[in-house]
Amino acid sequence: MLRCNDEHENEKEDAPVSTHQWLTTPTLIFNRVKMAALRIFARPVLSTCQQYSKGIDRLSLQENQLQPRNEKRWASFKTSPVYNEEKKYTDFEVSKDPKEWMFVERCVKLKHIPNPPKNIENLPSGWKAQRDEAKSFPYYIERSKNHQQPVYLKIDQRGLRRVTYVRKIQGDIIVLHAELKQYLRKSTGRPIGSQILEPNGVLRFRGDQVSLIKEWLSERGF
């Protein structure tokens, strides 16, 4: 009988605890009491925060109301005075003397490009006029509207690619290309890549060859 009672007691200890027993444990009761206390004590703190924020809003509204406002009405087109532009500048005199007009003409932009001077070889800018010798070649290179040699440099790809253009070419462009390419090879010591655009009258050379080509054109009178 004693043995049977011991086995029965062991079975009771191994049996699972019911949910009702877990709810009545002291740790769960302590947690519930703690949460309830937090709710009770946190309410006045939240209410004071809300009241404080409302008080700040009221103070800001009162300050805005106390600040002076510029209620001046801006002048309209009818009531505004006549604008006198001469008040912005210093005193000046109006002259209608034709002798003084020659000094003003120096500053005025010309309506047309003047013809270049003739029979003058050495100028401070280094500019040279075309000579009659240029018409004896099987090709001809016309000057631009500003009487400059039509040789241009185009820079692409952030300075990595440079191409020299020779424009306004008339006549046998293939002969001009061969002579220019031979001259550039002698001057630079290496072959220069080039391209012929015959319908447009344009030659393209790889690299910055502007100074060399202009020097060659000046020697031939272009």
Q: Which of 24-38, 52-66, 127-141, 197-211 has the lowest mean pLDDT?
A: 52-66
Packing angle, helices 173-188 and 210-219, rounded to 10: 120
pLDDT digits (tens, 9 = 90+) for 174-219: 999 999 999 999 999 999 999 999 999 999 999 999 999 999 999 9
Q: Tokens standing for 183?
A: 């001259």
What is the pLDDT, as a whole number, of residue 159? 85
Asked if the structure places residue 152 within a domain, the reply is: yes
Asked if the structure places residue 157 within a domain, the reply is: yes
- Alpha-helix runs per DSSP H in the chain: 2-14, 19-23, 26-66, 101-105, 173-188, 210-219
**Reported confidence tier of residue 12, pLDDT bands at 50, 70, 90:** very low
Closest CA to 175 of 149, 209, 214, 203: 203
pLDDT at 24 over 60: no
| Domain span at 202 | 132-219
pLDDT at 7 over 60: no
**Reported confidence tier of residue 63, pLDDT bands at 50, 70, 90:** low
Cα–Cα distance for residue pair 206/161, rounded to 1 Å: 8
Cα–Cα distance for residue pair 182/167, rounded to 1 Å: 19
Quote the percentage of the chain above a pLDDT of 70.
68
pLDDT at 106 over 50: yes
Q: Number of structural domains, the chain? A: 1
Asked if the structure places residue 186 within a domain, the reply is: yes
Asked if the structure places residue 141 within a domain, the reply is: yes
Indicate which CATH number applies to the domain containing 183.
3.30.780.10
- Average pLDDT value for the chain: 77
Asked if the structure places residue 116 within a domain, the reply is: no
